[in-house]
A and B are shown apart, each in its own frame.
Chain A
């Protein structure tokens, strides 16, 4: 399915880019917890090349999920596997996985931190990951390590940079 989207954007680059922007999609949903957690909203929202997003608030609490682009590519989620609360997970270590249409897809930790809460709603309703990947479909809430500044973490991208990679991927 990834391929379908890619082919399409490759063949029609101008339309493809427009499609990605308009559907947008990969921006954080401003009406849901990952955004509303603090009154001022997240300080930064960053993206990984593996299609995770991380929204970091002032108190170093961060929400992690996977992007709309990724969930569209994966198809209907049937099972979401999440880490145990309290687990310290280093950047790029496995954070869990999402199964969809017989594919087990690994999710990676965008920045060093400790799992504070998992989105237990997804256990019974994995489809929420598809319906609202940038909002209700958040996966993990974590406390970032003190020395982590997501704006300086290598490999993390702004929304604009991330969406560019979707069009010029190879």
Chain B
């Protein structure tokens, strides 16, 4: 379902041609979900799978297939949904998808919980994460509201808050491959998501926040579930398998709280990501920009775990490790039901051109052959040695670059 191409992360600021920092991204051919190769884990694996794939058919692979069959009738979907909900009731996982008012009550009250979004709309999921983060209470003494959110996004590229999108993504290719573009609220570099990637988001207090804390736990839990995974943490806080990156992280600190969110490549369509984060420019174009530049990494899927299993494993271990007195509940939410004005507002902000294109750091470009120098502020040409270009949207300039000679 999804993949990370570039590290969530930043390289030292640089000046000059992009090609200087690009290294070839090799796609490790993904192991296509070898299911339950080891009998020892069969039971537990299928248990998790059943537990955590409530809204869809029974595995992410089926999910993808079912998307292809666009003509599946609504009735079938409802029946599947009801059946899955029935399964959920029986294992006592979550009584129902939270209503808007339930979500509000749970988020605003103190206490720990796990929340899984059943929506694959990246705008909803990022807005939901933001809602949970903003509304989690901050107490002066102590903090007992560690929270864990899971969401899976349909195809999208997600750039960091302080990135120059034109240097990070190829907008035309994103469009042609049907990837949405989002600018998130946290820092770090650009990543690609699809349905084979699970995003997890760990919320804690600013005081307790440590960038590597939660990934150390995740690695410990996954490796002990299957020692052959051999996951490791690198010094950037990314999770590595056999030298390939499988998970990238970014963080946000605000209002005395902090979250660490990360991707986890399980069975993403890596081939599809090729080129999406490699924008092409005229050879003589030089960039000078502050802001945060992505660090490229070779990526792969973990492959032997599917999204449902991953969410199950991490949830269960979170429940065990973070239990204080009472059991940590697990809830589900969905865009159609679990939504409120605050989430809608954040979705609108995330969708807005103002946030996507007309924010981010200012930068300058030089085109030697055309004797052109341009300074761009908030996505617009702010200064230029050719006066007629001033006030132009940089995006329009790029599209018609050949006409500005």
Chain A interface residues toward B at CB < 8 A: 1-4, 6, 49-50, 74, 78-79, 81, 97, 99-106, 123-124, 126, 169-170
Contacts and interface: CB of A to CB of B under 8 A. Distances in A.
B252 interface: yes
Contacts, number: 93
B290 interface: yes
Contacts of B251: 101-104
Contacts of A100: 187
A3 B362 CA distance: 33
B162 A1 contact: no
A3 B213 contact: yes
Contacts of A2: 206-210
B137 interface: no
Nearest to B252: A104
Given A2-B207, A3-B208, A97 B161 contact: yes
26 contacts: A2-B210, A3-B210, A78-B13, A79-B187, A79-B292, A81-B361, A99-B10, A99-B160, A100-B187, A101-B10, A101-B251, A102-B186, A102-B188, A102-B236, A102-B237, A103-B186, A103-B211, A103-B253, A103-B258, A104-B162, A105-B252, A106-B252, A123-B290, A124-B290, A169-B207, A170-B142
Contacts of B188: 102
Interface of B: 8-10, 13, 141-143, 160-162, 185-189, 205-211, 213, 236-237, 249-256, 258, 290-292, 361-362
A100 B186 CA distance: 11
B308 to A, nearest CB: 28
Given A3-B209, A4-B210, A101-B211, 17 more contacts: A1-B210, A2-B209, A3-B207, A97-B161, A99-B292, A101-B251, A102-B160, A103-B258, A104-B186, A104-B250, A106-B255, A123-B290, A123-B362, A126-B290, A169-B207, A170-B141, A170-B142
A3 B212 CA distance: 11
Contacts of A101: 10, 211, 251
Contacts of A81: 162, 361
A87 B236 CA distance: 36
Nearest to B138: A49
B188 to A, nearest CB: 4
B142 A99 contact: no
Contacts of A50: 255-256
Given A99-B161, A99-B187, A105 B254 contact: yes
A106 B253 contact: yes
Contact of A104 (B161, B210, B236): B161
A92 to B, nearest CB: 9
B291 to A, nearest CB: 5
A169 B205 CA distance: 11
B161 A102 contact: no
B164 to A, nearest CB: 11
The 3 A-B pairs at the shortest CB distance, nearest first, are namely A106-B254, A104-B187, A103-B251
B231 to A, nearest CB: 19
Nearest to B209: A2
B189 to A, nearest CB: 7
A102 B189 contact: yes
B207 A170 contact: yes
B213 A102 contact: no
A104 B185 contact: yes
A103 B249 CA distance: 9
A104 B253 contact: yes
B361 A79 contact: yes
A102 B8 contact: yes
Contacts of B207: 2-3, 6, 169-170
Nearest to A104: B187
B210 A102 contact: no
A146 to B, nearest CB: 28
B187 A102 contact: yes
Contacts of B209: 2-3
Nearest to A105: B253
Nearest to B143: A170
A75 B136 CA distance: 25
B302 to A, nearest CB: 21
B253 A79 contact: no
Contacts of B13: 78
Contact of B162 (A6, A99, A170): A99
A119 to B, nearest CB: 13
